[in-house]
Amino acid sequence: MDKLEERISRETKALGLMNDPVMKQAREHIDTELYRLFKETKPTDLEALSQISGMQYMHTKYLAYLNQCLTDGKMARIELEQKKKGFKERLFG
């Protein structure tokens, strides 16, 4: 599998994860829980706020990674189509 195909494969897998109903529920649950924790934490409890911030950061990072896989896959599809188009033009003039 070449790099373009690998990027397309990762896009397909990431899309499956992002669209999975259980995964959607998990993301919503985590968002809700983090908001609840933040809302219930006293402004003076810097340690708890720091931990909540860290959890929010990691939650955001894995979602950003999956979205990057989607973008990379779309770009790979475009590149692959351009390669195919260029090959056909060279082959058939």
Average of per-residue pLDDT across 3-9? 95
Per-residue buried b or exposed e for 40-61, using 16+ beta carbons within 10 Å of the residue's own CB: eeeeeeeeeeeebeeebeeeee
pLDDT 10s digits, 34-57: 999 999 999 999 999 999 999 999
Domain count, the chain: 1
**Which domain covers residue 81, as residue numbers?**
3-39+46-92
Instruction: Kindly indicate the confidence band of residue 83, based on its pLDDT and cuts at 50, 70 and 90.
Output: confident
Q: How far apart are the first and last CA of the chain?
A: 28
Query: What is the predicted pLDDT for the residue at 72?
Result: 97
Round to whole Å and give the CA distance between 27 and 68. 17
Quick one: how many helices (H) and strands (E) in the chain? 3, 0
